Amino acid sequence: MLNYSVIGTGAIGGFYGGRLAHAGRAVRFLLHSDYEYVKQYGLRVDSCDGDFVLPQVEAYNNVEDMPQSDVILVALKSVNNHDLLPKLLRPLIHEDTTVVLIQNGIGLEEDLQSVFPGLHIVAGLAFICCAKEGPGHIHHQDFGPINLGNYSCPDGRFKTLLSDMQDAGLKAAQVPYLEARWKKAVWNMPFNGMTVALNTSTDKLLNTPATRQLIYDQMLEVIGAAQALGVSTLTSEFADQMMTTTDRMVPYSPSMKLDFDNGRPMEIEYLYSRPIAEARKAGFEMPKLAMLEAELRFIGESDIWA
């Protein structure tokens, strides 16, 4: 049976790691600000799919104290990938470790593989509305499926990982790696940045005709970029589907908006700069999203909403 570690026990890491632990898997959680609270009181998840509490959690506040792991779920913000993430992973990795990057963006796996050439890497694409309500308290509001794209993991290990997640009651599915990353970008690139640039939420963007059209146009830019990079299965029908899905969502502030509101760095590099650059290499320009990237960089370096 595989053992797991969660690096980044916020809303996303706490939810998926919590579901695995609730199903009986051995899961270790790395925590910081709420370490003492979770160590004493456990982890609580209020979920639209059914609430649960883990009264006893294998919690750590120092990665050096954690045993090596078969599978590491990384739910850190990608702004930490260049400096912090390799330092956190090194003590936990053995020769057969698999790392699942439950992060947003393009190019994440390629960059991590360059640091750890022998590491087994899987992309984790979470489709979930989830937030941290307080110490050791996660609120799962809507959705919850997670798609797994195999980047460099042996088939046997990948199938066991997928089975573990499904056994934990998660809607987990195997998807082609590159297609999965760009599919997630179809939603992430328009909504994350636009909620910050216009200081709003997803529902308001879609309820206003002008911004609804802009969101859709941005989605088509992402799809065009993906097609230029060889993802022929991604078409405008997926944009239509994402618009309908978001119409049905509860009013929501994406992760970038929450980061900005709380004074945290925004994930501009992997969510915007990298996909725009990759598309340009393939001869495809993303003008509306390039403009949004510039706006986000300006906002991130100023006090425009202060």
Catalytic residues: 184
- What residue type is 5 in one-letter code? S
| Alpha carbon separation from 286 to 45, 215, 257, 273 (Å, rounded) | 39, 13, 22, 11
Q: Is 23 exposed, middle or buried (0-12, 13-18, 19+ CB in 10 A)?
A: middle
Rg, the chain, Cα only: 19
| Alpha carbon separation from 197 to 5, 53, 118, 205, 293 (Å, rounded) | 35, 37, 40, 11, 10
Residue 224's nearest CA partner among 177, 290, 145 is 290
Q: Classify residue 70 by its DSSP letter.
A: S
- What residue type is 213 in one-letter code? Q
b/e per residue 253-268 (b: at least 16 CB within 10 A): bbbbbbbbeeeeebbb
Longest CA pairwise span in the chain (Å): 55
